[in-house]
Structure 1
Amino acid sequence: MSRSVSDLPFFLGCPVWSCPHWVGQVYPPRTPRSDWLNWYTRTFNTVEGNSTFYALPTIETSKRWADEAADGFRFSFKFPRVISHELMLRNADRETAAFLDCLLPLADADRLGPTFLQLGPSFGADRFDVLERFLRRLPAEWLWALELRHADWFDESVHELRVDEMLRSMRIDKVLFDSRPLYQSPPDDDIEAVSQTRKPKTPIRQTATGQSPMLRIVGRNRPELADAYFDEWAPTVAQWIRQGLRPYVFTHAPDDARAPELARRFAARMAIEMPDLSFEIASPPMPPRQMSLLDE
Structure 2
Amino acid sequence: MGGGQVRVGISGWRYPAWRGDFYPAGLPQRRELGYAAEHLTSIEINGSFYSLQRPTSYAAWRASVPDGFVFSVKGPRYVTHLKRLKDAEVPLANFFASGLLALGPTLGPILWQLPESFRFDADVLDAFLAGLPRTTTAAAELSNRHDDKVPDDRALTTAEEERPLHHALEFRSPTFATPEATAVLRRHDVATVLADTAGRWPKVDEDTGPLRYVRLHGDKELYASGYTDRALDQWAARCRAWAASGKNVLVYFDNDMKGYAPHDAMRLIARL
Pair in the same fold by TM > 0.5: yes
8 A contact 1:26–1:43 mirrored in 2:
no
Which residue in the other structure is 2:102 paired with?
A: 105
Q: Could you tell me how far 1:27 is from its partner in structure 2?
A: 4.3
Distance 1:9 1:25, change over 3 A: farther
8 A contact 2:13–2:33 mirrored in 1:
yes
Q: Distance in 2 between matches of 1:128 and 1:9?
A: 32
Q: Distance in 1 between matches of 2:181 and 2:7?
A: 25
Provide the secondary structure at the position in 2 that maps to 1:171.
coil
Which one of 35, 43, 48 corresponds to residue 47 of structure 1? 43
TM (norm. structure 2) is: 0.78
Which one of 175, 184, 187 corresponds to residue 152 of structure 1? 175
Provide the secondary structure at the position in 1 that maps to 2:102.
helix
Which residue in the other structure is 2:53 paired with?
A: 57
Q: Could you tell me how far 1:174 is from its partner in structure 2?
A: 0.8
Which residue in the other structure is 1:276 paired with?
A: none
Letter in 1 for 2:68: G
Which residue in the other structure is 2:34 paired with?
A: 38
What do residues 40-59 of structure 1 show as CA deviations (whole Å, max 9, x unaligned)?
21111211222211111112
Letter in 1 for 2:170: E
Q: Could you tell me how far 1:133 is from its partner in structure 2?
A: 0.9
Choose 1 or 2 for highest CA Rg. 1
What do residues 163-219 of structure 1 show as CA deviations (whole Å, max 9, x unaligned)?
222322322111111112xx6xxxxxxxxxxxxxxxxx2232221212221111122
The structure in which a higher percent of residues are strand is: 2
Letter in 1 for 2:109: P
TM (norm. structure 1) is: 0.72
8 A contact 2:40–2:266 mirrored in 1:
no
8 A contact 2:192–2:205 mirrored in 1:
no
8 A contact 2:212–2:248 mirrored in 1:
yes
RMSD: 2.2
Letter in 2 for 1:117: W
Between the two proteins, what is the percent identity of the paired residues?
A: 30
Q: Distance in 1 between matches of 2:43 and 2:204?
A: 22
Unaligned runs of 5+ in 1: 1-7, 155-159, 184-200, 272-278, 280-296
Moved more, 29-38 or 69-78: 29-38
Provide the secondary structure at the position in 2 that maps to 1:213.
strand
8 A contact 1:25–1:260 mirrored in 2:
no
Unaligned runs of 5+ in 2: 136-164
